[in-house]
Every structure is written in structure tokens, then in C-alpha cells.
């Protein structure tokens, strides 16, 4: 008999640094998941990406077991990382706070491709360029 899915939880956690303290404990505790087991498995799965913020989708089953899927870092996080800035523009595309090259945008698009709603790298590049533009990051040809 198949396990019954009780809940699906989405979190964004630092890679390799999940602890049972908030926000993990406050979200997963009521779901009945063993926090120590989740933190250990998550940290082992993400230790090679230290320093990144990674979205994770946790599926909780009726017998209190769980599975999780680690996604690629958010586009905004990658853009800020490549542009070496703390945050995007508060005025959106009207104020330029940094500049990225087409090659850097392509690298970000290739990283994000599995999680984007795009079939090719060219389509993914357009999505990433739009995100960068809205953050006040200029894309150079």
C-alpha cells in the first residue's frame, strides 16, 4: 500500500547549516518529523553547496516519514552573488546598482534551467535577464 501524503512544506535554508532551531523547528515540529534526522540528511545532501541558500520541498507522509527535494538557488540569490552586491535596487529597473555580462547571465541560466519553466538555455536567459533588470542589475552585451 502506498504512503499517504499528509503535507508538503517549502523552505529556503542555508546549505549544510540546517539546525532544529527556527525556522526549521517551528515549521517541521508540528508536522511530526524527526528534526535531527531531517537536519542531518539535509546537511549531508547540501554540504557541497555551502554558502548558498537552497529551496527545499519536504513531503511528509502519514507514518511521519519524509522525503525532500533540494532545488537550485533562487535566481535573485545567484544574481546578487555574481554581481557581488548585498541587495537589489529599491527603485527596481530605474536605478542601476550593478552590471553583469551575458556570459554570467548564461551561467546563472544554465544553473537554474532544471527549475525554470523553460525548455532551452535561450529561454532561461530571458527569464534571468528579466529578474536582473527588475533588481536594478544591468546586463552588458
Specify the 3-state DSSP secondary structure of 67: strand
Question: What CATH topology corresponds to 75-140?
Answer: Arc Repressor Mutant, subunit A (1.10.10)
CA distance 129 to 109: 9
pLDDT reading at 87 higher than 80: no
Q: What is the DSSP letter of 73?
A: P
Of the pLDDT bands very low, low, confident and very high (cuts 50, 70, 90), residue 12 is confident
* Helix/strand/coil percent split, the chain, to 5: 45, 25, 35
The correct CATH number of 5-70 out of 3.40.50.970, 3.30.1550.10, 3.40.710.10, 3.40.640.10 is: 3.30.1550.10
As given in the structure block, the three cell numbers for residue 28 are 517541521
Work out the average pLDDT over 71-90: 83
Q: Which range is least confidently modeled, 15-24, 70-79, 120-129? A: 15-24
Convert the pLDDT of each residue in 109-118 to its tens digit.
888 888 888 8
CA distance 20 to 53: 17
Cα distances (angstroms) measured from residue 53 to each of 1, 16, 63, 93, 134: 36, 10, 29, 24, 20
Instruction: Read off the pTM.
Output: 0.76
CA distance 66 to 39: 12
CA distance 111 to 97: 23
What residue spans define the domains of the chain?
5-70, 75-140
Radius of gyration of the chain (CA): 18
Convert the pLDDT of each residue in 22-74 to its tens digit.
778 888 888 888 888 888 888 888 888 887 888 889 888 888 888 888 888 88
Residue 74 · residue 88 · CB < 8 Å: no
Amino acid at each position: 500500500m502506498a504512503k499517504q501524503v499528509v503535507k508538503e512544506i517549502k523552505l529556503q535554508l542555508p546549505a549544510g547549516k540546517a539546525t532544529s532551531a527556527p525556522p526549521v523547528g517551528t515549521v517541521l515540529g508540528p508536522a511530526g518529523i524527526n528534526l535531527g534526522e531531517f537536519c542531518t540528511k539535509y546537511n549531508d545532501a547540501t554540504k557541497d553547496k555551502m554558502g548558498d541558500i537552497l529551496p527545499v520541498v519536504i513531503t511528509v507522509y502519514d507514518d511521519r516519514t519524509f522525503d525532500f527535494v533540494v532545488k537550485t538557488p533562487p535566481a535573485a540569490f545567484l544574481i546578487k552573488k555574481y554581481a557581488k552586491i548585498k541587495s537589489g535596487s529599491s527603485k527596481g529597473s530605474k536605478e542601476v546598482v550593478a552590471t553583469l555580462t551575458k556570459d554570467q547571465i548564461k551561467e546563472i541560466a544554465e544553473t537554474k534551467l532544471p527549475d525554470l519553466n523553460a525548455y532551452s538555455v535561450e529561454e532561461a536567459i530571458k527569464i534571468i535577464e528579466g529578474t536582473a533588470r527588475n533588481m536594478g542589475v544591468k546586463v552588458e552585451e
